[in-house]
Protein backbone atom coordinates (compact mmCIF):
# COMPACT_ATOMS: atom_id res chain seq x y z
CA UNK A 1 0.00 0.00 0.00
CA UNK A 2 1.39 3.38 -0.94
CA UNK A 3 1.92 5.99 1.73
CA UNK A 4 -0.90 8.43 2.34
CA UNK A 5 -0.16 11.92 1.11
CA UNK A 6 -1.67 15.12 2.40
CA UNK A 7 -3.84 16.81 -0.20
CA UNK A 8 -3.31 20.57 -0.13
CA UNK A 9 -6.50 22.53 0.48
CA UNK A 10 -6.85 25.27 -2.12
CA UNK A 11 -6.89 28.73 -0.70
CA UNK A 12 -10.09 30.69 -1.07
CA UNK A 13 -9.86 33.50 -3.55
CA UNK A 14 -9.67 36.82 -1.74
CA UNK A 15 -12.90 38.75 -1.70
CA UNK A 16 -12.87 41.84 -3.90
CA UNK A 17 -12.85 45.27 -2.41
CA UNK A 18 -16.22 46.94 -1.98
CA UNK A 19 -17.88 50.32 -2.09
CA UNK A 20 -21.20 51.29 -0.55
CA UNK A 21 -24.45 52.16 -2.29
CA UNK A 22 -27.76 53.46 -1.02
CA UNK A 23 -30.70 51.12 -1.48
CA UNK A 24 -34.19 50.23 -0.24
CA UNK A 25 -34.77 46.88 1.45
CA UNK A 26 -37.22 44.75 3.38
CA UNK A 27 -35.80 43.62 6.71
CA UNK A 28 -38.46 40.97 7.40
CA UNK A 29 -41.61 39.53 5.80
CA UNK A 30 -43.76 42.07 7.62
CA UNK A 31 -41.58 45.17 7.51
CA UNK A 32 -42.00 48.07 5.14
CA UNK A 33 -39.35 48.83 2.56
CA UNK A 34 -36.85 51.31 4.00
CA UNK A 35 -33.50 52.93 3.26
CA UNK A 36 -30.34 50.89 3.76
CA UNK A 37 -26.68 50.97 2.74
CA UNK A 38 -25.33 47.90 0.93
CA UNK A 39 -21.91 46.75 -0.26
CA UNK A 40 -21.13 46.38 -3.94
CA UNK A 41 -17.94 44.79 -5.23
CA UNK A 42 -15.52 46.97 -7.11
CA UNK A 43 -15.47 45.87 -10.75
CA UNK A 44 -13.43 42.74 -11.41
CA UNK A 45 -11.80 42.22 -14.84
CA UNK A 46 -15.05 41.25 -16.62
CA UNK A 47 -17.42 43.39 -14.56
CA UNK A 48 -19.53 46.36 -15.57
CA UNK A 49 -20.57 48.93 -12.97
CA UNK A 50 -23.91 50.55 -13.80
CA UNK A 51 -25.42 53.69 -12.36
CA UNK A 52 -29.09 52.71 -12.10
CA UNK A 53 -31.42 55.27 -13.65
CA UNK A 54 -34.70 53.35 -13.55
CA UNK A 55 -35.92 50.12 -12.02
CA UNK A 56 -39.24 48.48 -12.79
CA UNK A 57 -41.42 47.07 -10.01
CA UNK A 58 -42.41 43.45 -10.65
CA UNK A 59 -45.05 41.58 -8.65
CA UNK A 60 -42.26 39.10 -7.89
CA UNK A 61 -40.50 41.86 -5.92
CA UNK A 62 -43.45 42.05 -3.56
CA UNK A 63 -43.55 38.25 -3.20
CA UNK A 64 -39.87 38.09 -2.26
CA UNK A 65 -40.18 41.02 0.14
CA UNK A 66 -43.00 39.16 1.91
CA UNK A 67 -41.27 35.74 1.72
CA UNK A 68 -44.21 34.32 -0.24
CA UNK A 69 -41.91 31.75 -1.90
CA UNK A 70 -40.71 30.36 1.44
CA UNK A 71 -41.35 26.76 0.38
CA UNK A 72 -39.23 26.99 -2.76
CA UNK A 73 -36.90 30.02 -2.61
CA UNK A 74 -36.99 31.46 0.90
CA UNK A 75 -36.07 35.12 1.21
CA UNK A 76 -32.85 36.09 2.95
CA UNK A 77 -33.05 39.48 4.67
CA UNK A 78 -32.28 42.24 4.16
CA UNK A 79 -33.85 41.85 0.71
CA UNK A 80 -33.20 44.50 -1.94
CA UNK A 81 -35.58 43.67 -4.83
CA UNK A 82 -35.47 44.86 -8.43
CA UNK A 83 -34.68 42.94 -11.63
CA UNK A 84 -35.83 45.38 -14.32
CA UNK A 85 -32.76 47.60 -14.34
CA UNK A 86 -31.81 50.28 -16.85
CA UNK A 87 -28.83 52.57 -16.37
CA UNK A 88 -25.54 53.91 -17.62
CA UNK A 89 -22.09 52.31 -17.48
CA UNK A 90 -19.75 54.24 -15.18
CA UNK A 91 -16.82 51.81 -14.83
CA UNK A 92 -15.61 48.62 -16.49
CA UNK A 93 -13.06 45.94 -15.67
CA UNK A 94 -9.90 45.74 -17.76
CA UNK A 95 -11.10 42.63 -19.64
CA UNK A 96 -14.52 44.01 -20.64
CA UNK A 97 -15.01 44.18 -24.40
CA UNK A 98 -18.75 44.70 -24.88
CA UNK A 99 -19.30 47.96 -22.97
CA UNK A 100 -17.68 51.34 -22.51
CA UNK A 101 -18.24 54.10 -20.00
CA UNK A 102 -21.34 56.07 -20.92
CA UNK A 103 -23.13 53.19 -22.65
CA UNK A 104 -26.78 52.55 -21.86
CA UNK A 105 -27.06 49.15 -20.20
CA UNK A 106 -29.67 46.88 -18.66
CA UNK A 107 -29.84 43.93 -16.28
CA UNK A 108 -32.74 41.50 -16.04
CA UNK A 109 -33.60 38.61 -13.74
CA UNK A 110 -30.19 36.86 -13.79
CA UNK A 111 -26.63 37.93 -13.12
CA UNK A 112 -24.85 34.59 -13.60
CA UNK A 113 -25.27 30.84 -14.17
CA UNK A 114 -23.01 27.80 -14.13
CA UNK A 115 -22.29 28.40 -17.87
CA UNK A 116 -21.40 24.73 -18.37
CA UNK A 117 -24.71 22.84 -18.40
CA UNK A 118 -26.58 22.03 -21.62
CA UNK A 119 -29.04 24.90 -21.19
CA UNK A 120 -26.31 27.47 -20.60
CA UNK A 121 -24.28 26.24 -23.56
CA UNK A 122 -27.38 26.65 -25.75
CA UNK A 123 -28.02 30.20 -24.56
CA UNK A 124 -30.94 29.29 -22.30
CA UNK A 125 -29.37 30.38 -19.01
CA UNK A 126 -32.79 30.82 -17.40
CA UNK A 127 -33.02 27.01 -17.33
CA UNK A 128 -29.54 26.50 -15.90
CA UNK A 129 -29.29 23.05 -14.33
CA UNK A 130 -27.64 24.57 -11.27
CA UNK A 131 -30.23 27.37 -11.10
CA UNK A 132 -29.27 30.78 -12.49
CA UNK A 133 -28.01 33.33 -10.01
CA UNK A 134 -30.93 35.67 -9.49
CA UNK A 135 -30.34 39.41 -9.58
CA UNK A 136 -31.51 39.54 -5.98
CA UNK A 137 -31.80 36.89 -3.27
CA UNK A 138 -29.36 34.66 -5.14
CA UNK A 139 -26.02 33.39 -3.80
CA UNK A 140 -23.34 36.05 -4.16
CA UNK A 141 -20.19 34.10 -4.99
CA UNK A 142 -18.07 37.26 -4.84
CA UNK A 143 -18.99 38.77 -1.47
CA UNK A 144 -20.90 35.95 0.21
CA UNK A 145 -24.48 36.28 1.38
CA UNK A 146 -27.05 37.06 -1.29
CA UNK A 147 -27.24 39.33 -4.29
CA UNK A 148 -28.95 42.71 -4.02
CA UNK A 149 -31.19 44.04 -6.77
CA UNK A 150 -32.04 47.24 -8.54
CA UNK A 151 -33.72 49.28 -5.82
CA UNK A 152 -30.29 50.84 -5.39
CA UNK A 153 -27.95 53.46 -6.78
CA UNK A 154 -25.73 51.08 -8.70
CA UNK A 155 -25.04 47.46 -9.53
CA UNK A 156 -21.98 45.50 -10.67
CA UNK A 157 -22.55 42.57 -13.06
CA UNK A 158 -20.40 40.36 -15.29
CA UNK A 159 -20.59 41.77 -18.83
CA UNK A 160 -21.98 38.46 -20.14
CA UNK A 161 -25.19 39.17 -18.23
CA UNK A 162 -25.47 42.85 -19.16
CA UNK A 163 -27.57 44.00 -22.10
CA UNK A 164 -27.44 46.92 -24.52
CA UNK A 165 -30.45 49.27 -24.61
CA UNK A 166 -31.43 50.88 -27.95
CA UNK A 167 -30.87 54.63 -27.71
CA UNK A 168 -34.26 55.52 -29.21
CA UNK A 169 -36.30 53.90 -26.43
CA UNK A 170 -37.74 55.80 -23.48
CA UNK A 171 -35.49 54.43 -20.75
CA UNK A 172 -38.06 54.41 -17.97
CA UNK A 173 -40.63 52.64 -20.16
CA UNK A 174 -37.96 50.18 -21.31
CA UNK A 175 -37.20 48.95 -17.77
CA UNK A 176 -40.15 46.49 -17.56
CA UNK A 177 -38.97 44.87 -20.78
CA UNK A 178 -36.25 43.15 -18.74
CA UNK A 179 -38.84 40.88 -17.10
CA UNK A 180 -42.39 41.45 -18.34
CA UNK A 181 -41.13 42.09 -21.85
CA UNK A 182 -38.99 39.00 -22.30
CA UNK A 183 -41.58 36.87 -20.49
CA UNK A 184 -44.11 37.62 -23.23
CA UNK A 185 -41.73 37.99 -26.17
CA UNK A 186 -40.07 34.58 -25.73
CA UNK A 187 -43.16 32.34 -26.13
CA UNK A 188 -44.48 34.40 -29.05
CA UNK A 189 -41.10 34.21 -30.77
CA UNK A 190 -40.78 30.49 -30.12
CA UNK A 191 -44.24 30.00 -31.64
CA UNK A 192 -42.93 31.78 -34.77
CA UNK A 193 -45.85 34.19 -34.80
CA UNK A 194 -46.07 35.99 -38.13
CA UNK A 195 -48.35 38.26 -40.11
CA UNK A 196 -51.82 36.89 -40.76
CA UNK A 197 -51.92 34.51 -37.80
CA UNK A 198 -54.50 34.88 -35.05
CA UNK A 199 -53.12 35.36 -31.54
CA UNK A 200 -55.04 35.64 -28.28
CA UNK A 201 -53.84 37.40 -25.14
CA UNK A 202 -55.55 36.37 -21.90
CA UNK A 203 -55.45 39.17 -19.34
CA UNK A 204 -54.54 42.82 -19.85
CA UNK A 205 -52.18 43.59 -17.01
CA UNK A 206 -48.45 44.11 -16.61
CA UNK A 207 -47.63 41.10 -18.80
CA UNK A 208 -50.66 41.10 -21.08
CA UNK A 209 -50.40 44.70 -22.24
CA UNK A 210 -46.85 44.11 -23.50
CA UNK A 211 -47.92 40.80 -25.04
CA UNK A 212 -50.51 42.71 -27.08
CA UNK A 213 -47.85 45.12 -28.32
CA UNK A 214 -45.49 42.31 -29.32
CA UNK A 215 -48.17 40.24 -31.08
CA UNK A 216 -49.28 43.32 -33.02
CA UNK A 217 -45.67 44.15 -33.93
CA UNK A 218 -45.28 40.59 -35.27
CA UNK A 219 -48.21 41.38 -37.57
CA UNK A 220 -50.73 39.04 -35.96
CA UNK A 221 -54.47 39.52 -35.72
CA UNK A 222 -54.65 40.14 -31.95
CA UNK A 223 -57.63 39.31 -29.75
CA UNK A 224 -57.65 40.21 -26.05
CA UNK A 225 -59.64 38.14 -23.56
CA UNK A 226 -60.68 39.97 -20.43
CA UNK A 227 -63.40 39.96 -17.78
CA UNK A 228 -63.27 43.76 -17.48
CA UNK A 229 -65.46 45.59 -20.00
CA UNK A 230 -63.72 48.87 -19.14
CA UNK A 231 -60.45 47.58 -20.65
CA UNK A 232 -61.80 47.37 -24.20
CA UNK A 233 -60.72 50.82 -25.35
CA UNK A 234 -57.27 50.38 -23.83
CA UNK A 235 -56.78 47.00 -25.47
CA UNK A 236 -57.56 48.52 -28.88
CA UNK A 237 -55.19 51.42 -28.17
CA UNK A 238 -52.42 48.95 -27.36
CA UNK A 239 -52.84 47.12 -30.67
CA UNK A 240 -55.65 44.59 -30.26
CA UNK A 241 -58.03 44.13 -33.17
CA UNK A 242 -60.82 42.70 -31.03
CA UNK A 243 -61.73 42.27 -27.37
CA UNK A 244 -63.73 39.30 -26.05
CA UNK A 245 -65.47 39.04 -22.70
CA UNK A 246 -64.22 35.66 -21.53
CA UNK A 247 -67.28 35.22 -19.32
CA UNK A 248 -69.60 35.43 -22.33
CA UNK A 249 -69.95 31.91 -23.77
CA UNK A 250 -71.52 33.14 -27.02
CA UNK A 251 -68.62 35.55 -27.66
CA UNK A 252 -66.11 32.80 -26.92
CA UNK A 253 -67.80 30.27 -29.21
CA UNK A 254 -67.57 32.63 -32.16
CA UNK A 255 -63.80 32.06 -32.08
CA UNK A 256 -63.81 28.26 -31.65
CA UNK A 257 -60.97 26.56 -33.52
CA UNK A 258 -59.45 29.74 -34.96
CA UNK A 259 -56.32 30.63 -32.94
CA UNK A 260 -52.77 29.68 -33.83
CA UNK A 261 -51.53 30.71 -30.40
CA UNK A 262 -53.02 32.00 -27.16
CA UNK A 263 -50.78 33.59 -24.52
CA UNK A 264 -52.26 33.21 -21.03
CA UNK A 265 -50.81 35.79 -18.62
CA UNK A 266 -53.24 35.25 -15.71
CA UNK A 267 -51.39 34.50 -12.44
CA UNK A 268 -54.37 33.20 -10.43
CA UNK A 269 -56.66 30.18 -10.52
CA UNK A 270 -58.84 30.20 -13.67
CA UNK A 271 -60.35 27.84 -16.22
CA UNK A 272 -58.02 27.27 -19.17
CA UNK A 273 -60.21 24.72 -20.97
CA UNK A 274 -62.33 27.27 -22.90
CA UNK A 275 -59.11 28.65 -24.42
CA UNK A 276 -57.98 25.19 -25.52
CA UNK A 277 -61.26 24.88 -27.41
CA UNK A 278 -60.45 28.10 -29.30
CA UNK A 279 -57.19 26.72 -30.74
CA UNK A 280 -56.80 25.51 -34.31
CA UNK A 281 -55.41 22.07 -35.00
CA UNK A 282 -51.81 22.06 -33.70
CA UNK A 283 -52.44 25.36 -31.89
CA UNK A 284 -50.74 26.15 -28.60
CA UNK A 285 -51.84 27.65 -25.31
CA UNK A 286 -48.75 29.26 -23.77
CA UNK A 287 -48.80 29.82 -20.00
CA UNK A 288 -46.64 32.54 -18.45
CA UNK A 289 -48.74 33.31 -15.37
CA UNK A 290 -47.97 31.22 -12.30
CA UNK A 291 -51.12 30.35 -10.32
CA UNK A 292 -50.41 28.99 -6.87
CA UNK A 293 -53.04 26.25 -7.30
CA UNK A 294 -53.14 23.55 -10.02
CA UNK A 295 -55.28 24.32 -13.07
CA UNK A 296 -57.91 21.67 -14.03
CA UNK A 297 -57.36 20.23 -17.50
CA UNK A 298 -59.90 18.49 -19.74
CA UNK A 299 -57.59 16.26 -21.76
CA UNK A 300 -60.08 15.59 -24.56
CA UNK A 301 -59.73 19.24 -25.55
CA UNK A 302 -56.09 18.52 -26.41
CA UNK A 303 -56.62 15.17 -28.08
CA UNK A 304 -59.11 16.40 -30.66
CA UNK A 305 -56.94 18.78 -32.63
CA UNK A 306 -53.45 17.71 -31.53
CA UNK A 307 -53.24 20.85 -29.44
CA UNK A 308 -50.44 21.83 -27.10
CA UNK A 309 -49.91 23.49 -23.74
CA UNK A 310 -46.54 25.11 -23.11
CA UNK A 311 -44.96 27.17 -20.39
CA UNK A 312 -41.89 29.38 -20.15
CA UNK A 313 -40.03 31.78 -17.92
CA UNK A 314 -38.21 34.90 -19.13
CA UNK A 315 -35.51 34.17 -21.76
CA UNK A 316 -31.79 33.66 -22.11
CA UNK A 317 -29.36 36.55 -22.48
CA UNK A 318 -29.13 36.17 -26.25
CA UNK A 319 -32.92 36.17 -26.67
CA UNK A 320 -33.34 39.07 -24.26
CA UNK A 321 -30.93 41.16 -26.35
CA UNK A 322 -32.85 40.14 -29.46
CA UNK A 323 -36.04 41.31 -27.74
CA UNK A 324 -34.54 44.68 -26.84
CA UNK A 325 -33.31 45.15 -30.40
CA UNK A 326 -36.79 44.26 -31.70
CA UNK A 327 -38.28 46.83 -29.32
CA UNK A 328 -35.88 49.42 -30.67
CA UNK A 329 -36.92 48.66 -34.25
CA UNK A 330 -40.65 48.69 -33.49
CA UNK A 331 -40.66 51.23 -30.63
CA UNK A 332 -42.21 48.79 -28.15
CA UNK A 333 -42.09 49.77 -24.48
CA UNK A 334 -44.30 49.32 -21.43
CA UNK A 335 -47.01 51.70 -20.28
CA UNK A 336 -45.64 52.88 -16.95
CA UNK A 337 -46.41 54.97 -13.89
CA UNK A 338 -43.35 56.67 -12.47
CA UNK A 339 -42.75 56.75 -8.73
CA UNK A 340 -40.02 57.86 -6.36
CA UNK A 341 -38.36 55.20 -4.23
CA UNK A 342 -40.09 56.70 -1.19
CA UNK A 343 -43.44 55.62 -2.69
CA UNK A 344 -42.53 51.95 -2.99
CA UNK A 345 -44.65 50.81 -0.03
CA UNK A 346 -47.74 52.53 -1.45
CA UNK A 347 -46.93 50.97 -4.82
CA UNK A 348 -46.85 47.51 -3.23
CA UNK A 349 -50.25 48.17 -1.63
CA UNK A 350 -51.64 49.18 -5.01
CA UNK A 351 -50.09 46.14 -6.69
CA UNK A 352 -52.07 43.92 -4.34
CA UNK A 353 -55.21 45.65 -5.61
CA UNK A 354 -54.13 45.51 -9.29
CA UNK A 355 -54.24 49.30 -9.23
CA UNK A 356 -51.61 50.18 -11.83
CA UNK A 357 -51.62 50.78 -15.60
CA UNK A 358 -49.54 48.87 -16.28
CA UNK A 359 -46.16 48.82 -14.52
CA UNK A 360 -44.61 50.94 -11.80
CA UNK A 361 -41.10 52.20 -12.53
CA UNK A 362 -38.87 53.80 -9.92
CA UNK A 363 -36.94 56.95 -10.86
CA UNK A 364 -33.74 56.10 -9.01
CA UNK A 365 -32.70 59.76 -8.98
CA UNK A 366 -35.10 59.92 -6.02
CA UNK A 367 -32.67 57.80 -3.96
CA UNK A 368 -30.48 60.52 -2.48
- pLDDT band (50, 70, 90) for residue 2: very low
Domain borders along the chain are 18-179+334-366, 180-311
pLDDT tens, residue by residue, 57-83: 999 999 999 999 998 899 999 999 999
- Backbone angles phi and psi of 72, in degrees to 5: -120, -50
HEC readout, 272-341: CHHHHCCEEEEEEEEECCCCCCCCCCCCHHHHCCCCEEEECCCCCHHHHHHHHHHHHHHCCCCCEEEEEH
Contacts 24+ apart (CB under 8 A), 117-125: 122/316, 123/316, 123/317, 123/318, 123/319, 124/316, 125/161, 125/316, 125/317
End-to-end CA distance of the chain: 68
**Which tens digit of pLDDT belongs to each residue from 14-73?**
789 999 999 999 999 999 999 999 999 999 999 999 999 999 999 999 999 999 999 889
Give the number of C-alpha atoms closer than 13 A to the C-alpha of residue 114, restricted to the C-beta side: 9
Q: By C-alpha distance, which of 334, 287, 346, 289 is closest to 84? A: 334
Q: Tell me the average pLDDT across 233-244.
A: 97
CATH architecture of 18-179+334-366: Alpha-Beta Complex (3.90)
What's the CA gap between 97 and 259, in Å, rounded?
Answer: 44
Residues 128-183 have pLDDT tens digits of 999 999 999 999 999 999 999 999 999 999 999 999 999 999 999 999 999 999 99
Strands 133-134 and 47-57: unpaired
Q: Under DSSP, is residue 363 helix (H, G, I), strand (E, B) or coil? A: strand
What is the average pLDDT across 215-238?
A: 95
Summarised one tens digit per residue, pLDDT across range 275-309 is 999 999 999 999 999 888 899 999 999 999 999 99
Q: Does residue 6 carry a pLDDT above 60?
A: no
CATH superfamily of 180-311: NAD(P)-binding Rossmann-like Domain (3.40.50.720)
Percent residues over pLDDT 70 in the chain: 96
Q: Which residues contact 64 (CB under 8 A, 6 or more apart)?
A: 73, 75, 79, 81, 136, 137
Asked if the peptide bond before residue 78 counts as cis, ω within 30 degrees of 0, the response is yes
Mean pLDDT for 303-328 is 97
Cβ–Cβ under 8 Å, residues 212 and 187: no
Examine the pLDDT at 9 and tell me if it is beyond 90.
no
- Alpha carbon 276 to chain centroid, angstroms: 25
What does the alpha-carbon distance between residue 236 and residue 242 come to, in Å, rounded to a whole number?
A: 7
pLDDT the model gives residue 292? 80
User: What is the per-residue pLDDT across 114-127, written as a single tens digit (0 to 9) for each?
Assistant: 999 999 999 999 99
Span 220-231, mean pLDDT?
94
Helix (H) or strand (E) holding 61: helix 59-65
- The residues facing 163 across adjacent strands are 106
d(CA 224, CA 243): 5
Name the pLDDT band for 12 (thresholds 50, 70, 90): low
Per-residue pLDDT reduced to its tens digit, 87-115: 999 999 999 999 999 999 999 999 999 99
Q: In whole numbers, what is the pLDDT of the chain averaged over residues?
A: 95
24 and 341 Cβ atoms separated by less than 8 Å: yes
Res 4 pLDDT > 80: no
Q: Average pLDDT in the 193-201 region?
A: 97
Residues 6+ apart with CB under 8 A from 58: 81, 83, 84, 176, 179, 180, 206
Sorted by sequence, the CB contacts under 8 Å of residue 278 that are 6+ apart come out as 200, 252, 255, 256, 257, 258, 259, 262
Domain 18-179+334-366 shares a fold with domain 180-311:
no
User: What is residue 11's predicted lDDT score, i.e. its pLDDT?
Assistant: 55
The arithmetic mean of pLDDT across residues 185-201, rounded, is 97
Instruction: pLDDT band for 13, please (50, 70, 90 cuts).
Output: low
Task: Check residue 8 and give its pLDDT.
Answer: 54
Amino acid sequence: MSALRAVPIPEEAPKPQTYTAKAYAAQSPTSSMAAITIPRRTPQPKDVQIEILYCGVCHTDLHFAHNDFANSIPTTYPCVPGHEIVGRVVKTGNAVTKFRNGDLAAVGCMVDSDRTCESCREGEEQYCASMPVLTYNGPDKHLGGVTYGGYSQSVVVDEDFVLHVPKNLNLAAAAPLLCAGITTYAPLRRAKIRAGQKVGIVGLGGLGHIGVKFAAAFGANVVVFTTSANKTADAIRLGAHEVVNSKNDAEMQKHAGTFHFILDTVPVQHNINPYINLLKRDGTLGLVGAPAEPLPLEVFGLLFGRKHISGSIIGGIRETQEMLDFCGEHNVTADVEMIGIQQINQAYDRLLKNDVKYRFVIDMASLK
